[in-house]
Amino acid sequence: MSESIQAIKEKLATITSFTDPSLEYLKQDPRKGVQQALNSLAKRLEKEAKVKEKYQEMFIFEKQGYANGHQWIAGIDEVGRGPLAGPVVAAAVVLPKDEEILGLNDSKQLSEKKRELLYQEIQEKALAIGIGIVDEKIIDQVNIYEASKLAMIQAVEKLAVKPTYLLIDAMKLDLPIQQEKLIKGDARSVSIAAASIIAKVYRDRLMEEYDHLYPGYGFGHNAGYGTKEHLIGMEKQGITPIHRRTFAPVKKYL
């Protein structure tokens, strides 16, 4: 009696290579359902191979750092430069050298569900994570560019290990640590991508809490950016303690 197609599908779910010897007899199976299952397997394996290839492409800067003798390499990124309200949040992440976290990419290019899954995996596998938070008062005092740097420095200083090499998204920090500035680094380095995901999810959750404190602006889903709902909220209710007073159009409601 032939093995059921459902049983075959369950077996194929555990296959990691299309050259697996156990597939040979299935390739001869004339049933349409079996051949469709094999086609699905081929597509899955091809997709997984591309994700692994992408990881290796984005691991090149870390690889160079290790080759130059650095043991602790931190990727750094920030989130929240553009919003009208809330802090700027930075993250510094030291990833393991020999364990992949597949799917890492610029947090803006990932769905919310994928970001959350990767956030959890990074939390579980990272060797160290540091978070830096600079609030709206400091942003108004020093400007958003300088506040972003301060948040990044905080994040590095909060790491449980002391990095000797920093990979930073489009910035140079006033720290006595060797560093490399990478334009669009969150899409080019796995460490910076991991930092962008940590910072993004952390800040989004913070803004959801602010949404309960200050309802009517849509902070839970606009993260403080100047959406129509947010602008109407300011017009109707005025500004909150977390608004950035030096940002237009917040200024006109002072």
Residue stretches of the annotated binding site: 77-78, 169
> CA-CA distance, 177 to 155, in Å (whole number)?
14
Residues 207 and 219 sit within 8 Å (Cβ to Cβ): yes
* Nearest CA among 209, 244, 219, 222 for reference residue 134: 244
> Structure tokens of 97?
């050298």
> Which parts of 32-189 fold into alpha helices (H)?
32-58, 60-67, 112-125, 136-142, 144-157
Query: Which residues belong to the annotated binding site for a divalent metal cation?
Result: 77-78, 169
Integer-rounded Cα radius of gyration of the chain: 23
**Which residues are CB-contacts of 143 (< 8 A; sequence separation ≥ 6)?**
246
DSSP-derived 3-state class of residue 101? coil
> CA-CA distance, 186 to 188, in Å (whole number)?
6
Residues 89 and 199 sit within 8 Å (Cβ to Cβ): yes
Residues 195 and 129 sit within 8 Å (Cβ to Cβ): no
> Structure tokens of 131?
């978070």
Give Dmax over CA atoms of the chain in angstroms: 79
Residues 152 and 174 sit within 8 Å (Cβ to Cβ): no
